[in-house]
Structure 1
Amino acid sequence: MRILIITGGRIDESFALSLLQKEKFDHMIVVDGALAFWDKVERNPEIQCHFDHLVGDFDTISPNILENYLDREDIEVHRFNPEKDYTDTDIALKLAIRLAENGKEADAEDDCDEHQNEKTMQDSMNTRSEIWLLGATGTRADHMLANMQLLAQTKAAGVEGVIVDKNNKIRLLEGSYTLKKKDQFGDFVSLIPITRALKGVTLRGFKYPLERHTTYFGESLCVSNELEAEEGFINIEEGMAFLIESRD
């Protein structure tokens, strides 16, 4: 299952419209102020997708825009008091994780109902859902950093979490990852430690390789690497880091 959250940070419209045309999602969640962006999408004849969940305290969206979406039968509205414990984006992510978990259970039940073989059912259970966040970066450093660390929730749930904007694609990496050149988002690849140490870091297929090296939180050793081979292998024996593909 693939889910897109559109939240209220900076959204480059041309990039966002291209993403909506290129990528397919099973659910789309629009968060508070991002409804202003979506209101433009609704009037774009080239975009043939729709969102099904609206989340927020709605303190940043124009009431005139909001009223057009509150009573629609195809949209489930999740409204919260502005004085709440979690940000709107956090609440939307928790909703997305529940949707992903429910979808995975439903897929497994369908596989059983269709009497598929054991390997097929196991493959279905092991397929990782994806949650993408658009508009999770922008001018507010506090919100951007908070949104980046929300990826820990997707990892804990066994879901692939991705933050994307015009210039960056951000994941939270623990263990191994293979980056394919044909799928690369940008020219630069960085590992930013978020634990005290990244132990046993191996980078193969990159301009600046490493073999079981240890780097630490606060160091910039793994910033702005470049993929040279058709595939780049990344492995972290202990610790977690943000894996950031970026472009100018």
Structure 2
Amino acid sequence: MIINILAAGPEQYIPKLDSYHSDEGQWIGVDKGTVTLLSKGIQPIMAFGDFDSVSEDEMKQIESGVSKLNRFKPEKDETDMELALNWALEQNPQLIRVFGGTGGRLDHFFANVQLLVQPLLREVPVPIEMIDEKNIIYIKNPGEYHIHKRDSFNYISFIPMTMAVENLTLIGFKYPLSDKHIPFGSTLCISNELLDDNGTFSFTEGILMVVRSKD
């Protein structure tokens, strides 16, 4: 099972959702993202949020279009996205995809990126991808990983999420590395490319963010 979450980010950053719509995927709306799903003919199984960004008419659409509505007070400890993501992780899906999590307010964007780290810290083995029109973002713990070409997402960047990533090795890349120490704040691993259809990356310590981008 794949769980797709659509948040309330600006629509110009959201890719064509029908490319990700399939029988094996379930959709969750977060706040005004629920309205966007309904407008595109996608039926969410559930919605989360305080819904303070929707109009009265939009709220009526949500109430009539979504059978399981989780509504919260605006004054709460978790963001709407965090509430939805926590529920999704409890379902133990094979993949969670987050849309509408980029663009707009930078505080929301940085908070959403930090949420991608939480499953690793909690040792929950569910991969999460944050996807927008030009980028795919995900987070990895130490290990060795295969990476494959994806249509249009030619550029691959590796960004430390901890004080350092140790022994980063890139094989099959235009700019290879071998057992390299990458400190937090380094731009050494920005905008790399695969030489062929496949490559590998590995590291022994730290947490690494992988960003795949279109030009």
**How high is the TM-score relative to the length of structure 1?**
0.80
Q: 2 CA distance for matches of 1:215 and 1:151?
A: 20
Write out per-residue CA displacement over residues 196-247 of structure 1, whole angstroms, 9 at most, x where no aligned residue: 1110100000000001111100110100001112211000111111100001
What residue number does 1:94 align with? 86
Asked if 1 retains the 8 angstrom alpha-carbon contact of 2:14 and 2:100, the reply is: no
Match of 2:59 among 66, 88, 108: 66
Gaps of 5+ in 2: none
SS at match of 1:8: coil
How far has the Cα of 1:51 moved from its partner?
A: 1.1
What residue number does 1:41 align with? 40
Aligned residue type for 1:165 = D
What residue number does 1:9 align with? 9
Q: 2 CA distance for matches of 1:202 and 1:24?
A: 37
Gaps of 5+ in 1: 43-48, 104-128
Q: 1 CA distance for matches of 2:24 and 2:158?
A: 28
Aligned residue type for 1:97 = L
What residue number does 1:228 align with? 195
What residue number does 1:141 align with? 106
Whichever structure has more helix as a proportion of its residues is 1
**For the structure 1 residues 24 and 172, does the alpha-carbon distance in structure 2 shift closer, same or farther, using more than 3 Å as the test?**
farther
Larger Rg: 1
Q: 2 CA distance for matches of 1:246 and 1:137?
A: 13
Q: Counterparts of 1:1-248 in structure 2 under 5 Å?
A: 1-12=1-12, 15-21=15-21, 23-42=22-41, 49-72=42-65, 75-100=67-92, 129-155=94-120, 156-174=123-141, 175-181=143-149, 183=150, 186-248=153-215
Aligned residue type for 1:84 = K
**For the structure 1 residues 169 and 219, does the alpha-carbon distance in structure 2 shift closer, same or farther, using more than 3 Å as the test?**
same
SS at match of 1:15: coil
Q: 2 CA distance for matches of 1:13 and 1:216?
A: 30
Deviates more, 1:218-227 or 1:26-35: 26-35
Q: 2 CA distance for matches of 1:243 and 1:179?
A: 10
Structure 1 residue runs of 4 or more that deviate by more than 6 Å after TM superposition: none
Asked if 2 retains the 8 angstrom alpha-carbon contact of 1:130 and 1:159, the reply is: yes
Alignment: residue pair count: 212
What residue number does 1:120 align with? none
How far has the Cα of 1:63 moved from its partner?
A: 1.7
How far has the Cα of 1:41 moved from its partner?
A: 0.6
Write out per-residue CA displacement over residues 152-185 of structure 1, whole angstroms, 9 at most, x where no aligned residue: 223331100100000000000122221112x355
Alpha carbon RMSD of aligned pairs, Å?
Answer: 1.8
Q: 1 CA distance for matches of 2:192 and 2:119?
A: 26
Write out per-residue CA displacement over residues 125-165 of structure 1, whole angstroms, 9 at most, x where no aligned residue: xxxx1111000001211111110110122333110010000
Residue identity (%): 33
Asked if 2 retains the 8 angstrom alpha-carbon contact of 1:5 and 1:132, the reply is: yes
**How high is the TM-score relative to the length of structure 2?**
0.91
**For the structure 1 residues 210 and 184, does the alpha-carbon distance in structure 2 shift closer, same or farther, using more than 3 Å as the test?**
farther
